[in-house]
Structure 1
């Protein structure tokens, strides 16, 4: 593992958000340790927007929608897009080649639509419950952080399912880089929400492992879409655990 560099955070922000960050893409695989920090920045910004809305008197139900809209806007909805493409491909094709072909298609099918609807409804309901319960600001930031630590783990554990695409172009991080992403996310979460981090780590690991097994079975590896879907599924599971 090469030594982590500060510019890796900028690279992670440039890859995972739509923030106008100047980054150098000469070590994208090595920079994956910083993916959780990109989640921290995104989650903090979205939580602040939600807090302002709450201060202005917005109902918790609508504030939850503002939070989801903010995260989708700032990330370019790339993880949601990955979830939809993965759902279409995994259940719309009969063999790995056809599944990968469907995932590459920009059109969205029934499975993708259903996956997006269920994802948005579930996350909206969970965020609403957290906001209504009064303890939400730091937990939401922790979830955005932890859910992105699963991505480098899958990048390391699974081979690239195709010879082209975003994930393939970034390369595969080594075990130390993937472990640093998880360790960094864990420390940040502990600072934000204390020992509540422990059950989140357990259920997050189960969610990511389930996605890894499914991806290996369906297409023989991972793609950028699978990584995005993994972030979404992990976030949903973590939100349900807290809610």
Structure 2
């Protein structure tokens, strides 16, 4: 994937939306502009792509519940939808990042391990644990009510893409000169990233308000916790690899989604 060319002209929001949906989902959206300005708009719009992915996941889970399926099957289907809508790229990135970090090797060797097509033991173990955690948390949410399950699916998917917005902010370097990591590294102004984060936290709280005051606080805290844990991983990867890669972005998204689901499963 080529690095976007530098440009001084801002990209119209439609270009940013196309960039977000065209690079972060498999939805049939054509990326018509490929430069730093479009990448900036795309990463600022990333939570909107997450909102759509989460809504699709929630819809399938709720449909299965309405058809008589149990919470566990609904949870499995809900977890499967984001994987399908990203061609499993975020899960693949999570596994590759785990292999790179787990190797204990210098940055150059770790990055080479991450580019290999196979998945090592660290990656397999991480995938199993993360998917189990996501399914368990969603099963508990759907067991409470279809609305809580749907809220968990939407909030977690949106928080996952918010982590990407924050990871693409100023000052976060790319580990390689090519790939999606290089394409979006440092394109988002820090102030813009923080503004998007505040908006997503507020929206999550508003969604939780439909279920009560407790869910208002829990949904907002789920997003805060998700981006906080993703930030810890981001800083660790930046120290270990010298910057971010497309795999790291995938790992951040899955880490944030899992954290949000765990928080949403706590309490009553």
TM-score range, shorter chain: over 0.9
- Which residue does 2:26 correspond to in 1? 18
Distance in 2, Cα, partners of 1:151 & 1:222: 11
Q: Structure 1 stretch 149-158 or stretch 46-55: which is displaced more?
A: 149-158
Describe the superposition over 1:37-76 as per-residue Cα deviations: whole angstroms up to 9, x where unpaired: 0000000011111111111111111111111111211121
Q: Does 1:109 align with 2:124?
A: no
Deviation of 1:230 (Å): 0.7
User: 1:93–1:102: 8 Å Cα contact kept in structure 2?
Assistant: no
- Which residue does 1:242 correspond to in 2? 264
Q: Does 1:164 align with 2:178?
A: yes
Count residues with an aligned counterpart.
243
Matches within 5 A, 1:130-169: 130-134=141-145, 135-156=148-169, 157-169=171-183
> Normalized against structure 1, the TM-score is what?
0.93
Q: Does 1:126 align with 2:137?
A: yes
Q: Structure 1 stretch 186-195 or stretch 126-135: which is displaced more?
A: 186-195
By relative contact order (CA 8 Å, sep 6+), the higher-ranking structure is 1
RMSD: 1.8
Selected match of 1:226 from 213, 228, 248: 248
User: Can you give the 5+ residue segments of structure 1 that lack an aligned partner in the other structure?
Assistant: none
Describe the SS at the equivalent of 1:158. Answer: coil
Deviation of 1:93 (Å): 4.2
> Normalized against structure 2, the TM-score is what?
0.85
User: 1:40–1:145: 8 Å Cα contact kept in structure 2?
Assistant: yes
User: 1:147–1:234: 8 Å Cα contact kept in structure 2?
Assistant: yes
Distance in 1, Cα, partners of 2:30 & 2:244: 27
- Which residue does 2:201 correspond to in 1? 186
